[in-house]
Amino acid sequence: MDYNELPIGFSFSLAQNSDAMQNFAKLSKEEQDGIVQKARAVTSKKEMHALVNSLSTIG
Q: Are 7 and 38 contacting, i.e. CB atoms less than 8 angstroms apart?
A: no
Residues 37-51 pLDDT 10s: 999 999 999 999 999
Count of structural domains within the chain = 1
Instruction: Quote the CA–CA distance of 22 and 59 in Å, as a whole number.
Output: 10
Domain housing 28: 3-55
Q: Are 55 and 20 contacting, i.e. CB atoms less than 8 angstroms apart?
A: yes
Under-70 pLDDT residues of the chain:
1-4, 59
pTM: 0.86
